[in-house]
Homo-oligomer: A and B are copies of this chain.
């Protein structure tokens, strides 16, 4: 039932161990659910309790340690030998007297790994300050190193099998964005649009089903377009309003995010100008994507392109993405921003999202792309424009013509 071949998991492990060797890490303790899944296949909604994947430089397979009731999920979804799946008793869960990391430390002692150089993901959500304290208490002879994003940097270049999953996610986001835009209309509640979006995201297509994206639909509208990470409410869309949708399709935890901006009725000149600027900058930045170019160079093209319009943007315009779990589909490695010298390579995948938000309006138009051998592949096929919804649905002919969103 694993999502990839065992050979692929083994290959990922080899690459992880290469990085461990470079950084002098003998044992890597992984708490990031995406990294756990990437190396083992483990996939369950259990990251709300402490759990971990142990990679030892000289052992063939990782060890999974988690809550007792989740050991069966590990057996069902991972390629690990069942002997490598170690459950902890339930009284470790949210206890004030014992901590799952005490259990982990004891396992490391039992298997002779307690005096080694141990890498931990210090800035990962699921590695709390308390986790680290307990590990240090339990393993006084270990040397700890910060291995935040070590596996994430392995993940940044996707295999062809991963790209196929991301392409499926792109088919789902095309359909979902179409449904979302169709649902937005004067008098409709935001929550009802969100419901339609979810239905499209999760049902997927007839050929393959959707998975839950790591971020909920972000859908600021009206004055709230100045607040990019607000979710939905019971407010109704009204004529004259700008509405943003930032969504992803997700297939087996792989994402293809996209955002579009809709205007109900005739947009003002300032909204049109802002949209034109964003699109022009996005087009120019996508044009420059190819292997060998640095992330900061892509951002620079964006910045120079929009400079003449008088608009500016202080925040990054994109980030590496792929496999992930809540709360983020971003990979926390390369960003398209000033100072990021990461060199683009084939099969890196990014979400380029140059949104610009002011205090009372905002526009977002984004694309996810794969770096190819010679340039870039835009993952989703969707009209790259400010979508103006007047009385009749403006998208219908576009979709018919371009055969999108099927």
A residues with CB within 8 A of B: 43-48, 68-70, 72-73, 76-77, 89-91, 93-94, 99, 120, 122-133, 146, 148, 189-192, 194-196, 198-204, 208-212, 215-216, 218, 223-224, 226-234, 314-316, 319, 326-328, 330, 332, 335, 337-339, 357, 359
Query: Are B44 and A231 neighbours in the complex by a CB distance under 8 Å?
Result: yes
Most buried by B among A94, A196, A199, A332: A94
**Could you say which residues of chain B place their CB within 8 Å of the CB of A191?**
202-204, 209-211
Query: Are B126 and A127 neighbours in the complex by a CB distance under 8 Å?
Result: no
- Given A48-B330, A73-B227, A315-B69 in contact, is the A123-B127 Cβ separation under 8 Å? no
18 pairs, A vs B, C-beta closer than 8 Å: A43-B231, A45-B218, A70-B228, A72-B357, A73-B229, A90-B314, A93-B316, A123-B128, A129-B129, A130-B146, A130-B148, A190-B209, A195-B201, A195-B202, A195-B203, A198-B202, A209-B234, A326-B327
Query: Are A209 and B233 neighbours in the complex by a CB distance under 8 Å?
Result: yes
Within the complex, what minimum Cβ distance (angstroms) separates A143 from chain B?
15
Which B residue sits closest to A132, measured CB to CB?
B129
- Given A69-B228, A89-B314, A210-B191 in contact, is the A130-B123 Cβ separation under 8 Å? yes
Within the complex, what minimum Cβ distance (angstroms) separates A41 from chain B?
13
Query: Are A69 and B229 neighbours in the complex by a CB distance under 8 Å?
Result: yes
Q: How far is the CA of A189 from the CA of B201 in the complex (A)?
A: 14
Which B residue sits closest to A190, measured CB to CB?
B209
Which B residue sits closest to A90, measured CB to CB?
B315
Within the complex, what minimum Cβ distance (angstroms) separates A53 from chain B?
16
- Given A45-B218, A191-B202 in contact, is the A316-B90 Cβ separation under 8 Å? yes
Query: Are A76 and B227 neighbours in the complex by a CB distance under 8 Å?
Result: yes
**Could you say which residues of chain B place their CB within 8 Å of the CB of A208?**
234
**Could you say which residues of chain B place their CB within 8 Å of the CB of A218?**
45
Q: How far is the CA of A330 from the CA of B93 in the complex (A)?
A: 12
Most buried by B among A212, A216, A223, A232: A212
Q: How far is the CA of A373 from the CA of B167 in the complex (A)?
A: 56
Q: How far is the CA of A200 from the CA of B211 in the complex (A)?
A: 17
Query: Are B192 and A203 neighbours in the complex by a CB distance under 8 Å?
Result: yes
Query: Are A327 and B189 neighbours in the complex by a CB distance under 8 Å?
Result: no
Q: How far is the CA of A229 from the CA of B76 in the complex (A)?
A: 12
Within the complex, what minimum Cβ distance (angstroms) separates A172 from chain B?
10
Which B residue sits closest to A74, measured CB to CB?
B227
Which B residue sits closest to A315, measured CB to CB?
B90
Sample of 19 further A-B pairs with CB below 8 A, known A69-B315, A76-B227, A196-B199: A43-B231, A45-B215, A45-B218, A46-B229, A76-B230, A90-B314, A91-B337, A94-B319, A99-B123, A128-B128, A128-B129, A129-B131, A130-B148, A191-B210, A195-B199, A195-B202, A195-B210, A198-B201, A327-B327
**Could you say which residues of chain B place their CB within 8 Å of the CB of A122?**
128-130, 133
Within the complex, what minimum Cβ distance (angstroms) separates A129 from chain B?
4
**Could you say which residues of chain B place their CB within 8 Å of the CB of A316?**
90, 93
- Given A204-B191, A209-B234, A234-B208 in contact, is the A128-B125 Cβ separation under 8 Å? yes
User: Nearest 8 pairs between A and B by C-beta?
Assistant: A191-B209, A129-B132, A195-B203, A48-B328, A123-B130, A198-B198, A90-B315, A195-B202
Q: How far is the CA of A93 from the CA of B337 in the complex (A)?
A: 11
Which B residue sits closest to A123, measured CB to CB?
B130
Q: How far is the CA of A209 from the CA of B218 in the complex (A)?
A: 16
Query: Are B189 and A209 neighbours in the complex by a CB distance under 8 Å?
Result: yes
Q: How far is the CA of A233 from the CA of B199 in the complex (A)?
A: 15
Query: Are A229 and B44 neighbours in the complex by a CB distance under 8 Å?
Result: yes
Most buried by B among A203, A226, A328, A338: A203
Within the complex, what minimum Cβ distance (angstroms) separates A18 from chain B?
20
**Could you say which residues of chain B place their CB within 8 Å of the CB of A357?**
69, 72
